[in-house]
Chain A
Amino acid sequence: MLKVNDINVYYGAIHAIKGVSFEVNDGEIVTLIGANGAGKTTTLQTVSGLLHSRTGSIEFMGENIMGQPAHKLVGKGLAQVPEGRRVFLQMTVEENLEMGAYSQPKSSVAGGLERAYELFPRLSERRRQVAGTLSGGEQQMLAMGRALMSNPKLLMLDEPSMGLAPILVEQIFDIIRSLHKAGTTILLVEQNAQMALSVADRAYVLETGKIVSTGTGAQLLNDESVKKAYLGG
């Protein structure tokens, strides 16, 4: 579904991503784990078109999407839940969801809203509320619901557990599992390696802009060096 081949991304003179390649197959949950500053978010933003790579290629559903602007990719089935949620704080819950369906025909909005409220009943209770009044967990649900409004084939999640209480992290990961069961392919970026590896089919470990190891979720959970670096011994 997604094939990233040898991308190099720079912030000015800083070489942030150094020849990263990975792929996500149809129906998989793939995770990129790594420490702060390893380049996880940069990688995702490059795939979603917010940043651009100087080399290589990014293939999505057989089409080279490299260099295409972000707003064009949403309609092709690529949605991203950005790091830090970035919901529109001054807009209502329902308006946020409507924005998620911006690339979709008007006729599909009502059905999308219904699905989002079914998945996140909390959002339904607060549909007329301004998003800035939601708690962190609710905002994360809103950000996920908003991304799902575009009926993505590939959903990319950037640190969905960031800043959330453990019980909420469990909830968010339950939702990720159920989305996956319903057929959505998922690319997950996480600092919470334990959680991420436990749901992932396959994983890549990113260190200072390079992929240093890869394997199935279970393999990496038991890998000594991964254990040492990311799982607290």
Chain B
Amino acid sequence: MEFLSYLITGISLGSIYAIIALGYTMVYGIAKMLNFAHGDVIMVGGYVAFYSMTYASGSLLGDSPSAVATGLSTLVCVLLAMAVCTVLGIVIEGLAYRPLREAGSLAVLITAIGVSYFLQNAAQLLFGANPKNFTPVISGQLTLFGGQLRISYVALLTVAACIVIMVCLTLFTSRSKMGKAMRACSEDKGAAQLMGIHVNRTISMTFAIGSALAAIAGVLLCSYSPVLLPTTGSMPGIKAFTAAVFGGIGSIPGAFLGGILLGIIESMAQAYISTQLSNAILFAVLIVVLLVKPSGLLGKYVPEKV
């Protein structure tokens, strides 16, 4: 029973990693760059949700709001966080990365690290360095087997959100015109242009989707561990990047699989080996996987036909 409980913790934590990893992997797949500022977009999403939820519960809802009213206002706050992050993602891409489209990948990488620090410092300036106490979007837990197994509703919500996002993204990239254009751009930007695809707009769209997902991840992450700081996004961001590489960067199912596995490994390592060493174990597993399969679990090596 204990094992089951750790497994569920791992899967729900992994779902958060997976949602973040999707942003990394989509941007990498299309723009061929590692957007290290992605983790900090999560943090911005967290702050927007925090302030709008505080405002809603303080000024908009009465003293004892009904469950429906609370739920609706939380939903609106999450949507607001998604909207802000979407705009932020588009602005970051347009201002920081687009001018470097023809530059070497190192220049873009360093810029991404710069954007990451910029966001963290801007957040510290705007919101202060003191931790904020985030109210989980949903409270309570499910008790099973006569109290032996408890699953928080946050964990259930996280897993459900991850599955819904995964299904929607898969349908989007396989069925919609924009989704197919994204896949075309990820393979060959020049040929995509010759088809009439506006490559810059497609890349922008990818950042928009990734950043909206980051906002959802931010809200879930802060509901899971309710301390919000300007650096909140950086460690989960790095772990999600690891998850994306683990699963095969550029692959959407890979990000999903990598995220979930990483969450389970982390949870198990914390439970059975050592809390302090859990991150070391996590990265050790990554190194081993990459030694055996350099393209990641689901990454494919596509030979070029001449």
Residue on A nearest B201 in the bound complex, by CB: A71
Nearest to B180 among chain A residues (CB) is A95
CB pair A163–B187 under 8 Å, yes or no, is no
Enumerate B175-211 residues with CB–CB distance to A below 8 Å.
177, 180-181, 183-184, 187-188, 190-199
- What bracket does the count of chain B residues touching chain A fall in? 20 to 34
A67 at the binding interface (Cβ < 8 Å): no
A74 to B198, CA, bound (A): 11
**A90 to B177 Cα, complex, angstroms:** 16
Interface residues of B in 282-297 (CB under 8 A from A): none
Closest to A84 in B: B306
Name the B residues within 8 Å of A150 (CB-CB). 195-196
Point out the residues of chain B lying under 8 angstroms from A74, CB to CB. Answer: 194-196
B305 CB contact (under 8 Å) in A98, A100, A132 = A132
Q: Report whether A50 and B183 are in contact in the complex, using a CB–CB cutoff of 8 Å.
A: no
B196 touches A82 (CB 8 A): no
Do A86 and B193 touch (CB < 8 A)? no
Question: In the complex, how many angstroms separate the beta carbon of B199 from the nearest chain A beta carbon?
Answer: 7
Interface: B302 (CB within 8 A): yes
Nearest B residue to A100, CB-CB: B195
* Cβ-closest chain B residue relative to A109: B177
- A50:B194 contact, CB within 8 angstroms: yes
- Find out whether the CB atom of B193 lies under 8 angstroms from the CB atom of A99: no
**Contact status B305-A82, CB under 8 Å:** no
Instruction: Decide: B305 and A99 in contact? CB cutoff 8 A.
Output: no
Q: Is the CB of A132 within 8 A of B180?
A: no
Is A102 touching B196 in the complex (CB atoms < 8 A)?
yes
Q: Are B306 and A99 in contact (CB under 8 A)?
A: no
Q: Which residues of B contact A208 (CB under 8 A)?
A: none
Is A69 touching B193 in the complex (CB atoms < 8 A)? yes
In the complex, the answer to whether B306 meets A103 with C-beta atoms within 8 Å is no
Q: Is the interface of B mostly helix, strand, loop or mixed?
A: helix
Contact A88 B305 (CB under 8 A): no
Q: Taking each of B191, B197, B305, which has the highest tally of chain A beta carbons within 10 Å of its own beta carbon? A: B191
Are B193's CB and A50's CB within 8 A? yes
User: Can you list, as one digit per residue, whether each of A30-57 has a CB less than 8 Å from chain B (1) or not (0)?
Assistant: 0000000000000000001110000000
Distance between B303 CB and nearest chain A CB, rounded to angstroms: 8
Residue numbers in B under 8 Å from A100 (CB-CB): 195
Judged by a CB distance under 8 angstroms, whether A80 is at the interface is yes
Closest chain-B Cβ to A68's Cβ sits at a distance in Å of 12
Question: Cα distance A106–B183 when bound, in Å?
Answer: 19
| Minimum Cβ distance to chain B for residue A81 (Å) | 9
In the docked arrangement, what's the CA distance between A70 and B198, Å?
A: 9
User: In the bound complex, how far is the Cα of B193 from the Cα of A74, in angstroms?
Assistant: 9
CB of A48 within 8 A of CB of B194, answer yes
Chain A nearest CB from B101 CB (Å) reads 13
The reply to whether B193 and A91 contact each other, CB–CB distance below 8 Å, is no
Interface residue? A27 (CB, 8 A): no
Candidates B177, B183, B196; contact of A88 at CB < 8 Å: B183
Once the chains bind, are A91 and B180 in contact (CB under 8 Å)? yes
Residues of B within 8 Å of A98, CB to CB, are: 177, 180
The contact string, 1 if C-beta is below 8 Å from chain B, for chain A 185-229, is: 000000000000000000000000000000000000000000000
Closest to A95 in B: B180
- Bound complex: CA A164 to CA B195 (Å): 24
Q: Which residue of B lies closest to A103 (CB)?
A: B196
Are B302 and A132 within 8 A (Cβ)? yes
Bound-state CA distance A11–B22 (Å) is 37
* Distance between Cα atoms of A72 and B198 in the complex (Å): 8
A102–B177 CA distance with the chains assembled, in angstroms: 8
**A90 in complex: contacting residue of B190, B192, B302, CB < 8 Å:** B302
Tell me, in angstroms, the Cα distance from A100 to B193 when the chains sit together.
Answer: 10
Q: Is the CB of A89 within 8 A of B196?
A: no
Q: Which residues of A contact B180 (CB under 8 A)?
A: 91, 95, 98-99
Cα A79 to Cα B306 in complex, Å, equals 22
Give the complex CA separation of A119 and B196 in angstroms: 22
Since A91-B187, A103-B195, A147-B194 are in contact, a sample of 15 more A-B pairs with Cβ atoms closer than 8 Å, ordered by chain A residue number, is A48-B194, A50-B193, A71-B195, A71-B198, A71-B199, A82-B190, A86-B188, A86-B190, A88-B184, A90-B302, A91-B180, A99-B181, A99-B197, A102-B197, A150-B195
A sample of 16 inter-chain contacts (CB < 8 A) reads A50-B190, A50-B194, A71-B197, A82-B190, A82-B194, A84-B306, A86-B188, A88-B191, A89-B187, A90-B302, A99-B180, A102-B195, A102-B196, A139-B305, A147-B194, A150-B196
The 10 closest A-B pairs by CB, nearest first: A103-B196, A74-B196, A70-B193, A86-B191, A102-B196, A99-B195, A102-B195, A88-B187, A71-B198, A71-B193
Using a CB–CB cutoff of 8 Å, the interface residues on chain A facing chain B are 48-50, 69-72, 74-75, 79-80, 82, 84, 86-91, 95, 98-100, 102-103, 106, 132, 136, 139, 146-147, 150, 163
